[in-house]
Amino acid sequence: MEIWINPACSKCRSAISLLDAEGARYTVRRYLEDVPTEAEIREVLERLGLEPWDITRTQEAAAKELGLTEWPRDAGARDRWIGALAAHPKLIQRPIITADDGTAVVARTEDAVRDALSR
């Protein structure tokens, strides 16, 4: 499994601690440094079963500058949202764990991390 993290994020550190405590094998992706491509974001969205606006941190400064809260949330705007996430990775909700079974979870809670571990 892989976990996308921002090391400054307490939820990310908690998820890593739980993965370590459970002896999980995983790789860390510091997604602010190793920025996901639009294709990778599309793949993760498919694995999550979510839309790009579902994983967007709309309270970030970049989101406010872009006016994201005013953007349509429909199929016609999907590529625009994905482009914004790729251009401004800080907007991506974290941590995201891609599980071994091909699914993914936004692992902001202990339950979500345990869910990823069970897959």
Q: What are the tens digits of pLDDT across the range 73-108?
A: 999 999 999 999 999 999 999 999 998 899 999 999
| Averaged confidence pLDDT in the chain | 96
pLDDT of the residue at 95: 98
Catalytic residue among 1, 2, 9, 108: 9
What is the separation, in whole angstroms, between the first and last Cα of the chain?
10
Q: Give residue 119's pLDDT band: very low, low, confident or very high (50, 70, 90).
A: confident
Q: Tell me the pTM.
A: 0.93
Q: Is 9 one of the annotated active-site residues of the chain?
A: yes
Contact predicate 102/80, CB 8 Å: no
